[in-house]
Amino acid sequence: MTDKMRATCEFFYGIPFDECDVFTQKSWEAAWKASRETLTLDLPAFDGYLPHVVRELQGAFTRAAEAQGLKVKP
């Protein structure tokens, strides 16, 4: 569970996430996971860079996106 997901739930309900009942917590976790799985980003081309720099930039972009639970199209 990410801090961003917890903050969204707290904003929506107006109470701390830890005070929500278990059903609410689990439903938010499932909905958050499903919303992240459906998001897929296109890998930028980074035109104009040298090939080794492009590989580094694409790798960094992919790692950052996956850290947020997003998928990247190759």
Q: Model confidence over 25-45: pLDDT tens digits? A: 788 778 877 776 677 889 999
Q: Residue 25 has what pLDDT?
A: 74
Tokens 């992240």 found at: 36
Q: Residue 1 has what pLDDT?
A: 58
Residues 45 and 74 in one domain: yes
Residues 34 and 44 in one domain: no
3 to each of 6, 13, 44, 47, 59, how far by Cα in Å? 5, 15, 27, 34, 24
Indicate the number of domains in the chain: 2
Residues 44-61, mean pLDDT to the nearest whole number: 94
pLDDT digit string, tens, across residues 13-23 = 777 877 777 77
Residue 35 structure tokens = 């919303």
Residues 54-71, mean pLDDT to the nearest whole number: 90
Residues 24 and 46 in one domain: no
Structural domain range at position 46: 40-74
pLDDT of residue 65 exceeding 80: yes
Cβ-based burial of 7 (10 A; exposed 0-12, middle 13-18, buried ≥19): exposed
